[in-house]
Structure 1
Amino acid sequence: MIYFPEASLSELSIHRIGNKAQDEFYVLSEASMQIQDEHLKNVLLQYFLSPYEKTNEIFRFFHPNDDLNLNEVYHFVEQVFENGAHFHKNSEQLAKYLYDTSNHPKIKAGELYVAYFENVQIEGELHDAIGIFKSETKETYLKVSPEQAGFALSYEEDAININKLDKGCIIFNTEKEEGYKVAVIDQTNKSNEAVYWKDEFLKLKVRNDNYNQTKNVLGVYKSFVTEKLDQEYDVTKADKIDLLNRSMKYFKEKESFDIDEFSNEVIGNKEGIESFKNYKKSYEDEFETPIADSFDISGAAVKKQAKAFKSVLKLDKNFHIYIHGNKELIEKGFDDDKSMNYYKVYFKEEE
């Protein structure tokens, strides 16, 4: 979705951000960097942009008060897009604001990079973009260099691996009124203290496009089948797998989603359909995330969600049965003599 073969790095500012909760400080550079070395520029493009090549989910800036201008990052970025001469000044403001949000004792100190790119492609269109990146993880690298009689070995500590971007976001200069298009990366977001990057510093919400509509309705349906059905009906694991397989088949074969068509073809039971629609409504209310009753299906979202739809029936530690087709070809029963459950599987040929 995001490509950069035509992209160029036109300006870069680097600042150091400490942990405010640990009484560390920030250090601001006096001016932005004008990089002349083309090889270094290409290395930086690889470091900053390559992690986004597989990004499908796009976000937007927002503010809880519904006033975008109250979102600090949005405000500073808007100033740069309106006047490039204000780039470094606003990079300093971004650094100060990030420092103010770094108030959890476990947040790591690191370098903040604010970059201005030209001709970055998103969804088939080229745009200028502002990148905000933070490097927190440092590594040690060995360096081998030739000497008269062989080679010398040395090392460099606290170096940055250009294949591991810790945190970052790219803001594209398009759809300003809706909060821009924003792609985000947070490789260290494994604990509660790490959510400050996306939730507190950037204040982002998911763009409600076809990709997210597809992902959300598949996620809601999966939760409905695996969690909700047990509370209302006596459903076997084989039946659950069949329901999940039928839903994935629907999304792979159809070009658009219609909730009534989906419910009738996949669930096919009046009470079950009503229960699913109520479950969907509860999700929308709880997470304030509306899901349309009809939308164009995103193939990329289906492909990603398919990995989470398990079709394996695990029986103790002895057998795994993969169910991909007709549920009528598998029967469940109970053997009184052995006091054990069993499955009977019908097939024509053994492959």
Structure 2
Amino acid sequence: MVSYFEASLQTISVHHVGNPLQDERYALSDEPLTLKDEIIPRLLMQYFLAPFEKTNEVYHLMHPGDDLDLNEIYHYCTTVFNDDTKFQEISQKIAKHLYSVSGHPKIKAGEVYIGYFNGVQLEGEQVNAVGIFKSETKETFLKVYPQEGGFGMDYEENAININKLDKGCLIFNTSKEDGYKVVVLDKTNGSNNEAVYWKDEFLKLKIRNDNFNQTNNTLSIYKNFVTQKLDGEFEMSKADKIDLLNRSMKYFKEKDTFELDEFTGEVLGNDEAIESFKTYKNQYEQEFETKIPDTFEISDNAVKKQARVYKSVLKLDKNFHIYIHGDKDLIEKGFDDAKAMNYYKVYFKQEE
């Protein structure tokens, strides 16, 4: 979704942000980095932008009071988009803002990079973008080099692996009235409070309700409905559940447009189950304040993403796995009294 083959790095500043609860401070640079050769900018572009090439979710900046100017990042980015000569001053304010929300004891100190990019492409639109990135993980690298009669070895401590970006976001200069388009990356592994500060407290993001997220959310809601909700209302085998999941995936792969009544009729086909699913969907919309329309264009990317987590495997003890891809009527479940064990009978025409 993000492409940067025609993009360029206009300027970048580096600051250091500690954790106030650990009595760590922040350190601000006075000037942007001086990039004297062509190799460093190219490496930085790979480090900062390559991780976003496979992102699909697009967010926007928001504020609980509906006044976007109260969102610090929105205000700072608007200032830079209007006048890039204020970039350095704004980069310092962004670093201070990040420091102010780093209030969880497990949040790591690290360098914060604020960059201004030209010509980054998102959803086919080429625009400028402000990038904010944080590196928290440092590694040791070995260096092998030739010397007289063979090779020598050295090492570099506290170095950064350019293939492992810890946290980052790109704020694109488009859809300003909606809070700009934003893509985000956060590879933090920790407690909820530690993990959410980047998206929720620092950026204040809300996911955009487009056809990707409508497709993704509907498939996710249906999967949870089948695997968690139906057990309490209907007596169903695991094979039946897998069949219901396979039917839904088949619908989304074959159709261009989602129609709620058509979907529930073709996939569930039971009035009580249909009503239960619609209630379940409404509860999700109310809890997460996200309205999913009854009709929307299906996103192929979202279907591919959900297909990876939709399970069609029936696991039997530690001996067998049965992959169910088609007609569930060709598999029967029973109980053998002599062995006191369950069994499945599978019908097929030929082995392949």
TM-score w.r.t. the length of structure 1 is 0.98
Give, in whole Å, the separation in 2 of the partners of 1:114 and 1:335. Answer: 66
Counterpart residue identity of residue 181, structure 1: K
Report the equivalent of 1:78.
78
Query: Is contact 1:212–1:301 with CA below 8 Å preserved after alignment?
Result: yes
Give, in whole Å, the separation in 2 of the partners of 1:123 and 1:335. Answer: 57
Report the equivalent of 2:59.
59
Give, in whole Å, the separation in 2 of the partners of 1:275 and 1:140. Answer: 55
1:286 aligns with 2:317: no
Give, in whole Å, the separation in 1 of the partners of 2:34 and 2:178. Answer: 32
SS of the residue 1:29 aligns to: coil
Deviation (angstroms), 1:269: 0.7
SS of the residue 2:26 aligns to: coil
Deviation (angstroms), 1:340: 2.1
SS of the residue 1:348 aligns to: coil
Query: Is contact 1:14–1:29 with CA below 8 Å preserved after alignment?
Result: yes
Instruction: Give per-residue Cα distances to partners, 1:269-289, cap 9 Å, x unaligned.
Output: 111111100110011111111
Report the equivalent of 1:143.
143
Give, in whole Å, the separation in 2 of the partners of 1:324 and 1:245. Answer: 7
Counterpart residue identity of residue 50, structure 1: A
Instruction: Give per-residue Cα distances to partners, 1:106-150, cap 9 Å, x unaligned.
Output: 111110000000000111110100100001100111122232333
SS of the residue 2:199 aligns to: helix
SS of the residue 1:274 aligns to: helix
Counterpart residue identity of residue 320, structure 2: F
Report the equivalent of 1:311.
312
Deviation (angstroms), 1:194: 2.4
Deviation (angstroms), 1:333: 1.7
Query: Is contact 1:61–1:71 with CA below 8 Å preserved after alignment?
Result: yes
Give, in whole Å, the separation in 2 of the partners of 1:38 and 1:330. Answer: 62
Counterpart residue identity of residue 5, structure 2: P
Report the equivalent of 1:116.
116
Report the equivalent of 1:336.
337
- Counterparts in 2 of 1:229-268, with a 5 A limit? 229-268=230-269
Deviation (angstroms), 1:292: 0.9
How many residues align? The count is 351
Report the equivalent of 1:320.
321
Give, in whole Å, the separation in 2 of the partners of 1:350 and 1:54. Answer: 38
Give, in whole Å, the separation in 2 of the partners of 1:26 and 1:312. Answer: 51
Deviation (angstroms), 1:315: 1.4
Give, in whole Å, the separation in 2 of the partners of 1:153 and 1:323. Answer: 54
Query: Is contact 1:135–1:165 with CA below 8 Å preserved after alignment?
Result: yes
Give, in whole Å, the separation in 1 of the partners of 2:152 and 2:219. Answer: 57
- Counterparts in 2 of 1:101-250, with a 5 A limit? 101-192=101-192, 193-250=194-251
Counterpart residue identity of residue 79, structure 1: T
Counterpart residue identity of residue 181, structure 2: K
Report the equivalent of 1:297.
298
SS of the residue 1:64 aligns to: coil
Counterpart residue identity of residue 349, structure 1: Q
SS of the residue 1:338 aligns to: coil
SS of the residue 2:232 aligns to: helix
Query: Is contact 1:189–1:195 with CA below 8 Å preserved after alignment?
Result: no
- Counterparts in 2 of 1:19-98, with a 5 A limit? 19-98=19-98
Deviation (angstroms), 1:189: 4.0
Indicate the larger mover: 338-347 or 242-251: 338-347
Counterpart residue identity of residue 315, structure 2: K
Indicate the larger mover: 226-235 or 62-71: 62-71
Give, in whole Å, the separation in 1 of the partners of 2:144 and 2:311. Answer: 48
SS of the residue 1:66 aligns to: coil
Give, in whole Å, the separation in 1 of the partners of 2:36 and 2:121. Answer: 23
SS of the residue 2:27 aligns to: coil
Indicate the larger mover: 332-341 or 212-221: 332-341
**Alignment gaps of 5+ in structure 2:** none
Deviation (angstroms), 1:319: 1.6
Deviation (angstroms), 1:305: 0.3
Counterpart residue identity of residue 112, structure 1: V
Give, in whole Å, the separation in 1 of the partners of 2:18 and 2:67. Answer: 29
Deviation (angstroms), 1:151: 2.4
Counterpart residue identity of residue 344, structure 1: K
Counterpart residue identity of residue 294, structure 2: D
TM-score w.r.t. the length of structure 2 is 0.98
Give, in whole Å, the separation in 2 of the partners of 1:60 and 1:278. Answer: 28
